[in-house]
């Protein structure tokens, strides 16, 4: 059974800092890995998708890496802003399953 762990569970940083969120998974037989953003009371917003054959994806200030063999992914956020405050979820996709981590709650203070 796939298990996804996200570290840290919560993170508080001052505006402007670069930060890294970590995600690990137990079964490396995945199709892809996704990072989502969740604002309170809202649906998920997809940030980045990395196929199992890829090593990283970039979108603006976000960069996600994937090391499938070691079961790890990181989400790098450059020059953080207060608007980045949200919960960030990592999810790994199998053929008919989608397994989420519990998320990292990020607070960026002005």
Partner 1 sequence: GAVVSQHPSRVICKSGTSVKIECRSLDFQATTMFWYRQFPKKSLMLMATSNEGSKATYEQGVEKDKFLINHASLTLSTLTVTSAHPEDSSFYICSALNSGTDEQYFGPGTRLTVT
Going from the C-alpha of 19 to that of each of 16, 49, 52, 81, 96, the distances in angstroms are 9, 19, 24, 11, 32
Q: Does 60 bind partner 1 (CB under 8 A)?
A: no
Q: Does 96 bind partner 1 (CB under 8 A)?
A: yes
Name the percent of the chain in helix, strand, coil, to the closest 5. 5, 60, 40
Q: Does 98 bind partner 1 (CB under 8 A)?
A: yes
- Judged by CB under 8 A, which of 25, 36, 77, 88 binds partner 1? 36
Q: Does 97 bind partner 1 (CB under 8 A)?
A: yes
- Judged by CB under 8 A, which of 1, 43, 60, 83 binds partner 1? 43
Judged by DSSP in three states, 12 sits in strand
Q: Which stretch binds partner 1 (CB under 8 A): 6-14, 18-26, 77-85, 97-105?
A: 97-105
Report the alpha-carbon angle 27-55-73, nearest 5. Answer: 50
Two tokens at 20?
């890294």
Q: Does 18 bind partner 1 (CB under 8 A)?
A: no
What is the binding site for partner 1 (CB under 8 A)? 31-32, 34, 36, 38, 40-41, 43-46, 49, 51, 91, 93, 96-98, 100
């Amino acid at each position: 059974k796939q298990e996804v762990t996200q570290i840290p569970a919560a993170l508080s940083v001052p505006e402007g800092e670069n930060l890294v969120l970590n995600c690990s998974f137990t079964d490396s037989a995945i199709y892809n890995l996704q990072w989502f953003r969740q604002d309170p009371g809202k649906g998920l917003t997809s940030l980045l998708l990395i196929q199992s054959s890829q090593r990283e994806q970039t979108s603006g200030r976000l960069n996600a890496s994937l090391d499938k063999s070691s079961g790890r992914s990181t989400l790098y956020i450059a020059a953080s802003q207060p608007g980045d405050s949200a919960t960030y979820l990592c999810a790994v996709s199998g053929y008919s399953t989608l397994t989420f981590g519990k998320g990292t709650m990020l607070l960026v203070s002005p």
